[in-house]
A and B are shown apart, each in its own frame.
Chain A
Amino acid sequence: MKTLILIFFASVLTNNIALTYFLGMCPFIAISKNTKAASGMGMAVTYVMVITAIVNYTIYTFVLIPMGLEYLAFLIFIIVIAGIVQVLEMLVERFFPVLYTSFGIFLPLITVNCAILGLSLFMILRDYSFLQMIFYSLGSGLGWWLAIAAMAGLRRMLMLSEPLASLGDAGITVILAGFMALSFFGFSGILPA
């Protein structure tokens, strides 16, 4: 139980997938202009992370390993992610129109979000058990959500300040992401090494 909780908090805070690995940066920068959209994106990423991690884990453990085809993992993961996003989009649109409205165009965008693929690859690198994988993927999703929501909040504050014009919009966002990463370092104290 303790390791599960550790894995969860590590992936939300100290090993935040957006702020320590800098994965999923394109939506992180592009969609953090507005808090509502950022939240929609964060939620979509979380859902997809958990579901793809479960499916990828199952395929990897029960098909690829027994057949000695681990080297296909990369390709298979990509295909699975694309397929799941499509299926999810169709189902969510049909049965949860309200949720679909808040996801908007973000769901299909996730197909090419490297944080999702990164998560599947990390989880096999680290040899997680099934339960550990669940906590890890849920934590990473929530961590990414937290990061983009916090970034959107910060960027709203930016409107009140006057950063260097030459930095542009994306420039100052990357610098902010750097500061956020540094401050997330501060969390490392809360977990035993």
Chain B
Amino acid sequence: MTYLYSLLVMNGLIVFILILLILIKRYIAVYDDYSVTINGDKEIVVPGGQTIVSSLTQNKIFLPSACGGKGTCGLCQVKIVEGLTDPLSIEEAVLPYKEIAAGYRLGCQTKVRGDLKIEIPEEYLSVKEYKGLISKIETLTHDINRFDIDLIEPREIEFKSGQYVVVEPIPGETRAYSIASIRKHKEKISLEVKKIPNGICSTYMHALNEKDELSFYGPYGDFYLRKNDYTVVCVAGGVGLAPMKSIIDEVIHEYPGRKVELYYGARTIDDMYDYERYISLTGEHENFKFYPALSEVDEVLHHPSGFVFDTGFINNEIAKRIEDGNACEAYLCGPPIMINFCIQTLMDKGVPEDRIFYDKF
């Protein structure tokens, strides 16, 4: 008999709590609809109680995200002009104090609890969801694959060299990948993805096969080639090479006479890819220079073409090669530590801070 009682009590309690939760959710914790005005002209009406990001997503406005709404990447920030609430502690941890004070909040954390007026970069309004078909997968190194993707719907993408797209392997998990193909080919893009042990999205990507479909959002990012005459200094660490291809291609083909240099760092030659392409490019274009460096190799490596792969970290290479920093503009992509060191070196060399652009992977 006691067994029956205990079953009854346990299950009764659980059922009671469940019913209570459902009732509260259904009848008590309900929110009104609120209006969200974007950039002063576009107005949408959304149910309250959900995050700004999900409200916008339902209306086909896609804010960038590389953390899947966990509040760690800071990419989803929006400026709240009207309807500002106190910052959450997550937001205080991610956003600089000045931005918080200026009304910036994380779209994935701040919820719609009243009418809002927000400002987001105008180009986000043109971000679309793309569907593509993987036409080719190429193994570049032991842990980096290149995915060539033919666009199905919409059939063309416009992006600036260096921008990235966002992949969402499971709902809510979003990751950014730089576009590793050139801008001229509008009907397809390539992504280069490094496999991270136990990484959710990179593992998903590496499990894809040719002819599989892949959806993504984009393009995003203010890491793109600026129009001017400065020498372009590209600094790539590992898979940070991905966005450089289109930047270098654009400089070479659309800015006659503009110089471009690629500093490419990796641990060993086995972690490098595409270097043959850049070695032959140095032969074809005198304005292009290529400086590879291997950090975990003791001896300078001589490529059959006569090209030299230096040893050491890539910032040493920058320190050695750059002469007039003030004539340069720098684009950096790679692991955060590398970027921090390289920014320091570049600034020591006289590159102005506002001409240093980077994406930390």
Contact = CB atoms under 8 A, between A and B. Distances in A.
Interface in B83-97: 85-90
Given A36-B89, A104-B88, A69 B9 contact: yes
Interface string A62-101: 0110011100100110011001001100110110011001
Interface stretch (B12-20, B272-280, B283-291, B327-335): B12-20
B90 A105 contact: yes
Contacts of B24: 87, 90-91
A67 B9 contact: yes
B88 A67 contact: no
B21 A86 contact: yes
A93 B29 CA distance: 8
A37 B90 CA distance: 10
B20 A69 contact: no
A94 B28 contact: yes
Contacts of B361: none
A40 B86 CA distance: 14
Given A87-B21, A91-B24, A105-B90, A76 B2 contact: no
Contact of B14 (A40, A59, A72, A79): A79
A18 B334 CA distance: 43
Nearest to A75: B10
A129 B247 CA distance: 74
8 contacts: A37-B89, A40-B89, A79-B17, A86-B17, A90-B21, A90-B29, A94-B30, A101-B87
Nearest 6 Cβ contacts at the A-B interface: A83-B17, A94-B29, A90-B29, A104-B89, A101-B86, A67-B5
Interface of B: 2, 5-6, 9-10, 13-14, 17, 20-21, 24-25, 28-31, 49, 85-90, 113
Interface of A: 34, 36-37, 40, 59, 63-64, 67-69, 72, 75-76, 79-80, 83, 86-87, 90-91, 93-94, 97-98, 101-102, 104-105
